[in-house]
Amino acid sequence: MFVKVQSATNLGLETTGVDVEINISNKGLPVFEIVGLAGRTVDESKERVRTAILNSKIEFPQKRIVVNLAPADVPKQGSFYDLALAVGILSLVMDLQLPEKSLFFGELSLDGALRHTKGCLLLALFAKENGFKNIFVPKESSNEAAIISGINVIPVESLNQLILHLLNKEKIEAAKYQKGDNANDLNVEFDMAEILGQEQAKRAAEIAAAGGHNIIMVGSPGSGKTMLARALPGIMPPLNERESLEVTKIYSAVGSIPPGGSLITCRPFRAPHHTASPVGLIGGGTKPHPGEVSLAHRGVLFLDEFNEFPRQVMEAMRQPLEDGYLTISRSKEIVRYPADFMLVASANPCPCGYFNHPKKNCVCTPRQIRKYQKRISGPILDRIDLHITVQPVDTGEFSDNQKNSELLESSETIRKRVILARKRQEERFEKDSIQSNAQMKNNHIKKYCKLAKEVEQLLRQASMKFQLSARSYMKMIKVARTIADLDGAPEITVSHMAEALQYRPKIYETI
């Protein structure tokens, strides 16, 4: 007796179809074998499937069962073949008719129930692109799969329920996508109105959010750098449809979408600690998985105490910062993860923290300061568009300011401006493959940022005076474009460029 059930495997964000071929024969000793480059996790399926079938009050055949996972040269890992395996065996034992063009995907529990399984969104996309009609997935993961319209997502709770469905006794209704109530959950810790003073830093944060620019804040302890970064999610624009799907795919692949979860609509905000491992931050491992840089895709990666991050991690970030993706190569596989994030870094200017402080004296030696500042490499600093010095706020003015804190602009007001500026960018880049000014390559800059003579002259003069690199030169144009977008101006003017130049790389030129 032979049957072929279709399933799939996810490697990174790529999905490949897998045929689960099952042969049951009376000849030979009773065994249950899985062949076809099956990893240890797949091999463990045998025990789960056998026990789940027995606990569903169905007899498990005491025969020679051989399973082949084809194509045999694709490495297979994970527990999601359980459902295809069980369905195949049951179809042979109980003479069930399996529907055509259907994929089976899901992990079994020992009692025969189906468990929430990661990667169902990727499976649904694969099914749609490859002309499948139905996908059978665990009920808890079905909403995630139902994001993709145009295919039947059959939510399965248990093996017994699936048998009744296949016997046409009790049909399971296809899942209908339910929007989550957390759709507008912004995950905000601070409101901009709570931050007193720091007008320039707030303005820089607004520009960064509007254009998706990387930003570094350097300042003395307790000046509000961390507070400002944590207020950023409140002024970030929401994800558009395309971005939402990209982000949700990554979270689906790592299994971070909760049972019943839906499309992610707010921008990710990741703030890993500097003691996190390089693999955790960048991605990789023997089974290549995405790191924080990919989990922050289309959102913010906040690296607090930037100088404390290991050099190896900083250097590894150079490629994703430039290209917006990360390639992880292993002997058996090459995985590419998107990693187009906005880097927000904060640092102190020296070990004691008071170098250049208007009132306190710095106790560090020039050598200590230089050593401390050198921990952030030049190439990384060069990839950051906005450099700002966060000055300490005068605590004497605090109480007056506090009285007026309701007069300060709230995150909501700033966010409205940011959203308008992003809309202008989306319209501009409608025919291009980018979404924000920060993503512009030279050809986009040439096309969309034509500079008037006097603007170009100002930029040239500044670039000679401050020894800007070619990359920084281009970045100044991108930042000026965002400032013009916030202003609603079609062209970059001298004042836009002059403001952009205030944020040029300058922090570490003082020593």
Q: Which residues bind ligand ATP (CB under 6 A)?
A: 195-198, 219, 221-227, 346, 348, 393
From the list 187, 201, 170, the residue with the least C-alpha distance to 236 is 187
Q: Cβ contacts of residue 285 below 8 Å, gap of 6+?
A: 279
In the bound complex, what is the minimum distance in angstroms from residue 218's beta carbon to Mg ion?
11
d(C-alpha 121, C-alpha 141), whole Å: 8
Chosen from Mg ion, ligand ATP, none, partner binding at 221 (C-beta under 5 to 8 Å by type): ligand ATP
Residue 197 or residue 212: which is nearer to ligand ATP going by CB? 197
From the list 22, 82, 93, the residue with the least C-alpha distance to 57 is 93
From the list 278, 292, 236, the residue with the least C-alpha distance to 416 is 236
- Span of 195-203, 224-232, 245-253, 270-278 interacting with Mg ion by CB under 5 A: 224-232
Residue 219 or residue 505: which is nearer to ligand ATP going by CB? 219
Name the phi and psi angles at 124, rounded to 5.
-65, -40
Residue 132 or residue 309: which is nearer to ligand ATP going by CB? 309
Residue 348 or residue 472: which is nearer to ligand ATP going by CB? 348
Residue 217: is it exposed, middle or buried by C-beta count within 10 angstroms (0-12/13-18/19+)? buried
In the bound complex, what is the minimum distance in angstroms from residue 510's beta carbon to ligand ATP?
18
Residue 271 near Mg ion by CB under 5 A:
no
Residue 410 near Mg ion by CB under 5 A:
no
From the list 454, 457, 507, 455, the residue with the least C-alpha distance to 479 is 455
In the bound complex, what is the minimum distance in angstroms from residue 229's beta carbon to ligand ATP?
8
Closest-by-Cβ residue to Mg ion is 226
- Span of 137-145, 223-231, 378-386, 477-485 interacting with Mg ion by CB under 5 A: 223-231
Other C-beta atoms closer than 10 Å to the C-beta of 26 total 10
The CA-atom distances, in angstroms, between 99 and each of 38, 87, 88, 392 are 26, 11, 12, 68
- Span of 14-22, 204-212, 219-227, 397-405 interacting with Mg ion by CB under 5 A: 219-227
Cis, bond preceding 71 (omega within 30 deg of 0)? yes
Chosen from Mg ion, ligand ATP, none, partner binding at 223 (C-beta under 5 to 8 Å by type): ligand ATP
In the bound complex, what is the minimum distance in angstroms from residue 304's beta carbon to Mg ion?
5
Closest-by-Cβ residue to ligand ATP is 224
Q: Tell me which amino acid residue 210 is.
A: A
Q: Tokens for 291, please give them.
A: 């790191």
Residue 226 near Mg ion by CB under 5 A:
yes
In the bound complex, what is the minimum distance in angstroms from residue 300's beta carbon to ligand ATP?
16
Q: Cβ contacts of residue 189 below 8 Å, gap of 6+?
A: 230, 231, 233
Other C-beta atoms closer than 10 Å to the C-beta of 412 total 13
In the bound complex, what is the minimum distance in angstroms from residue 226's beta carbon to ligand ATP?
3
Chosen from ligand ATP, Mg ion, none, partner binding at 393 (C-beta under 5 to 8 Å by type): ligand ATP
Chosen from ligand ATP, Mg ion, none, partner binding at 227 (C-beta under 5 to 8 Å by type): ligand ATP
Residue 223 or residue 294: which is nearer to ligand ATP going by CB? 223
In the bound complex, what is the minimum distance in angstroms from residue 411's beta carbon to ligand ATP?
14
Residue 195 or residue 507: which is nearer to ligand ATP going by CB? 195
Consecutive H or E run containing 302: strand 300-303
In the bound complex, what is the minimum distance in angstroms from residue 282's beta carbon to ligand ATP?
24
**Distance between first and last Cα of the chain:** 79
**Binding residues for Mg ion, per CB under 5 A?**
226
